[in-house]
Chain A
Amino acid sequence: MVGKSKAMEAAKEIVIKTEPFVVNFGPAHPSTHGVFRMRMTLDGEVIVDMEPVFGYLHRGIEKLAEERTYTGCIPLTDRMDYLASMSNNFAYVLAVEKLAGIPVPERAEYIRVIMAELQRIASHLIAVGAFLNDCGAFMTPFVYMLREREKILDLFDMVCGQRLTYNYMRVGGVSQDIPDEFIPALKKFLKEMPGWINEYERLLKENEILLARAKGVGILSRELAINISASGPVLRGSGVKWDIRRADPYSIYDRFDFDIPTGTVGDCYDRYRVRIEEMRQSLRILRQAMKGLPPGEARSDVPHLIRPPVGEAYARIEAPKGELGFYLVSDNSIAPYRFHVRAPALINLTALSDMMRGWKIADAIIIFGSIDICMGEVDR
């Protein structure tokens, strides 16, 4: 009896104490979409604080570009958002054309729009697939979407011989005209793609578990989204109808008829829905662009070494991940004096810590996945 009461007294003295602990996610982790690193302070499963650490993929692209000719910078832009190289090319050549005042033939404009919209679909396929994979749908949606991305890559392969780093657009046009077999292949793709999108929708759109996991999770409020200058599907998911193709039309986007899908509350599910709807809208633009494609030159007469007048220019496009902008300063030499990129993925990431706080580890992964980043662009 004496022993027992002593033990009970000892037990009373033990106070169960919990304290937050730090877990390191990444840079090598299956769900970090590259080499992102998160230092999470956890209380059990709940995230108390999250500190993003990036820079693991920094290659100094902005500095490298200052040593190259204006045309020589195009391959560098391929390596930024490597899931959407065409869009990067597009934004960059727009900036150079604005800086040097170079005209673009009509046909090249149409080809550029076709490429940019195909690229948007390809990038959203990866974004949605990876997001669903993060939710735990073991690879199935991801592989389905890769299957369709593969068809887009085949189309790109046709026009420029590359599958990842296209280097297709040139200042004043595109590197070469599209081959004869491209348009029939594009027609076939446009005919089949809506069915495939419906297939993804049938698989998971109304799935109870996905709704439970993604609805109301990781809400990015409208005010916060605007304050951090988020853009792209992240901003539109929060209910802001802002699309540069409409708000500040570049190239020939003012000629096309398309809707801007928006979400309502700004949760992960809304961002997922916005991406799926945008794919459908891109198909609409593609159909119109294919119909309107005029004959003619695919590239205007541009000197080999471009020497823009002294000055600066900023061109922006609606890239798959948001507003992608290039800011160039020229000192009338053959290389840009300053080359700055407004990377949408980096800026969309700034709200990550606020979005994650209070959620569980499992939620943190899908919140991160729903932002859709590409480390090549974040770190540059």
Chain B
Amino acid sequence: MAMQMLPPDWPGNFWAHWAIFTVIILVFVLATVMVFIWFERRALAIMQARLGPNRAGPFGIFQPVADALKVMLKEDIVPAAGDKIVHWLAPVVAFVPVLMVFAVVPFQGGAILADLNIGILYVVAISSVTVVGVFMAGWASNNKYSLLGAMRQVASVVSYEIPVVLSVVGVILLAGSLSLQQIVLAQDIPFILLQPLGFLLFFIGALAEINRTPFDLMEADSELVAGFHIEYSGMKFALFYLVEYAEALVISAIVATIFLGGWRGPFLPPWLWFLVKVGLVFFVIVWIRATLPRVRIDQLMALAWKFLFPLALLNLLITAVEILVFPAVSPWVLVGVNIAIMIVLVILWSRLFKLGGGRVNV
């Protein structure tokens, strides 16, 4: 399979390439986010035995458009005692990094804005910046609910970044490169099979990072009402809403790229394979949202430090040993071994957890 290792010369020069891909990414992200919003509401509704949006257009497909129009006409309210500048900046700071991550996501062989040789590191680093925006929002609103939500977010991200990064390192070891394009090219067997434990840890950590159920503590509808964006209205609120779904899109795209083999697959054109995989991951996220209750903040921390972190270290060790000591073994044997190791480790480690309780003496 003749793949181009570098961004292609098409469409001629660097600036044209940059401009065209930036426009494509912007349009892709915004359009996909709209489809995702519709898809999530519709899929959730079907799972919950109700109809969901069904008025605007066929199957309610234009509902996000109607929502966007409505939200643009809404009054923008800034709390009187809030920090006006930070309040204004927060949605921007939250939104821009999410968009920036797409610069290194390969939509198909060579269709990438910038094939950075530190691609995955860039993704991990940039996507964390969103938290700053969230914390700014929570602080600037001058609202106790917002502050609680923002503090939960900061605390959870500090705990979750580490297992997420460690589980990605396993993939990097296998692929021998940090470039997302190279990682895809290295996946003759999708890494979800070679790195089942890494995938599990990454996915759990990613759910916590993008604040989806069961880790949606920072917005926790039944506790903090809306968490950090409780004081936002109009277009600023819409930006936070976009961030939420764009983050889900980012995580779906990253999971599809580094674990599910990116654009690679038989029969269908590569870009379609990529979209199908992204949609599949997003569907799983929606499915989890429809099913699971929410964990508590201390349980979230315990899960991160006592479960994900040690398992991520073990996963790294096992991967390194497999690569160094058994380089000649067929990868399909390793697939079986790794899946067995994952099942054993997860069962053993979950035995260590005590369910329930957690009262603090006051």
- Which residue in chain B gives the minimum CB-CB distance to A209? B293
In this assembly, does A134 line the interface, its C-beta being within 8 Å of a C-beta of chain B? yes
Among B145, B152, B355, the residue within 8 A (CB) of A212 is B355
Q: 1/0 per position for A142-162, CB-CB distance to B under 8 A?
A: 011001000000000000000
Bound complex: CA of A97 vs CA of B350, how far in Å?
59
Judge whether B223 is part of the interface by a CB distance below 8 angstroms.
yes
In the complex, per-residue mask of A193-212: 1 if CB is within 8 Å of any chain B CB, else 0 = 00000000001100111111
- The complex places the Cα of A204 from the Cα of B293 at a distance, in Å, of 9
Task: Return A361 CB to nearest CB of chain B, in Å.
Answer: 6
Q: Are A140 and B225 in contact (CB under 8 A)?
A: no
In whole angstroms, what is the CA distance A159 to B105 when docked? 62
Question: Could you say which interface size class chain B belongs to?
Answer: 35 or more
Task: Give 22 pairs: A residue, B residue, CB < 8 Å, sorted on A.
Answer: A21-B144, A23-B148, A45-B152, A45-B297, A46-B360, A132-B293, A135-B294, A136-B214, A136-B293, A138-B44, A140-B47, A209-B214, A211-B356, A212-B295, A214-B356, A216-B358, A359-B358, A360-B296, A360-B297, A360-B298, A360-B358, A361-B148
Min CB gap B268→A, angstroms? 33
- The minimal Cβ–Cβ distance linking A149 to chain B, given in whole angstroms, is 12
Query: A215 at interface (Cβ–Cβ under 8 A)?
Result: yes
Cβ contact of A43, chosen from B220, B221, B299, B362, cutoff 8 A: B362
**Those 6 A-B pairs whose CB atoms lie nearest each other, nearest first:** A136-B294, A215-B356, A216-B356, A135-B293, A216-B357, A137-B293
Q: What's the Cα separation between A30 and B220 when bound, in Å?
A: 11
Nearest chain B CB to A223 CB, angstrom units: 18
**A75 interface contact, C-beta 8 A:** no
Take A143-B48, A216-B356, A217-B357 as given contacts and tell me if A363 and B221 are in contact as well, using a CB distance cutoff of 8 Å: no
> Interface size of A by Cβ–Cβ distance < 8 Å?
45
Which of A45, A215, A363 counts the most chain B CB atoms within 10 A?
Answer: A45
For residue A358, CB closer than 8 A to chain B, the reply is yes
Is A267 engaged at the interface, CB distance under 8 Å to the other chain?
yes
Is A23 touching B144 in the complex (CB atoms < 8 A)?
Answer: yes
Instruction: Enumerate chain A residues within 8 angstroms of B47, measured Cβ to Cβ.
Output: 140
Chain A: CB-nearest residue to B48: A143
Interface residue from A134, A144, A203, A357 paired with B222 (Cβ < 8 Å): A134
A269 contacts B by Cβ under 8 Å: yes
- Bound CA span A189–B353, Å: 41
Q: Which residue of B lies closest to A134 (CB)?
A: B222
A209 with B144: CB separation less than 8 A: no
* Residue B1 lies at the interface, judged by CB distance under 8 Å to chain A: no
Q: Is the CB of A208 within 8 A of B355?
A: yes
Comparing B12-20, B31-39, B284-292, the segment that makes contact with chain A is B284-292
Most central of A136, A208, A363 by chain B CB within 10 Å: A136
Docked-complex contact A209 and B289, CB < 8 angstroms: no
Q: CB within 8 Å of A: which residues of B?
A: 44, 47-50, 144-145, 148, 152, 213-214, 216-217, 220-225, 289-299, 350, 353, 355-362
- Roughly how many angstroms separate A360 CA and B291 CA in the complex, as a whole number? 23
Which A residues, 170 to 226, have Cβ-Cβ distances below 8 Å to chain B?
203-204, 207-217
Residue pair A47, B362 in contact (C-beta under 8 Å): yes
Bound: A365/B297 CA distance, A: 14
In the complex formed, the residue of B with least CB distance to A369 is: B222
B292-A207 in contact (CB<8A)? yes
Which residue of chain A lies nearest to B152 when distances are taken between CB atoms in the complex? A45
Is the Cβ of A365 less than 8 Å from the Cβ of B292? Answer: no
Cβ–Cβ contact B220 & A362, under 8 A:
yes
CB distance from A268 to the nearest CB of B (A): 9
What residues of A have a CB within 8 angstroms of the CB of B358 in the complex? 216-217, 359-360, 363
User: Within 8 Å of chain B (Cβ to Cβ): is A300?
Assistant: no
Considering the complex, give the chain A residue whose CB is closest to the CB of B289.
Answer: A138
Known: A43-B362, A203-B291. A30 touches B222 (CB 8 A): yes
Additional A-B contacts beyond A138-B213, A215-B357, A361-B148 (16; CB < 8 A):
A30-B222, A45-B148, A45-B152, A134-B222, A136-B214, A136-B222, A139-B48, A207-B292, A210-B293, A212-B295, A212-B296, A357-B362, A358-B360, A360-B297, A361-B224, A362-B297
Neighbour of B221 across the interface among A45, A138, A269, CB < 8 A: A138
Measured CA separation A92–B31 after assembly (Å): 59
| Contact A209 B294, beta carbon cutoff 8 Å | yes
Contact B222 A269 (CB under 8 A): no
Give every chain B residue within 8 A of A353 (Cβ-Cβ): none
Our pick among B48, B223, B290, B356 for the contact of A362 (Cβ within 8 Å) is B223
Q: How long is the Cα–Cα vector from A210 to B296 in the complex, in angstroms?
A: 10
> Which of A48, A209, A267, A363 touches B362 (beta carbons < 8 Å)?
A48
Docked complex Cα distance between A363 and B295 (Å)? 10
How far is A110 from B305 in the complex, measured between Cα atoms in Å?
A: 58
B292:A209 contact, CB within 8 angstroms: yes
Q: For the complex formed, measure the closest distance between the CB of A255 and the CB atoms of chain B, giving whole angstroms.
A: 37
CB pair B290 A138 closer than 8 Å:
yes
Q: Which of A23, A137, A147, A212 counts the most chain B CB atoms within 10 A?
A: A212
Residues from chain A with a CB closer than 8 A to the CB of B289 are 138
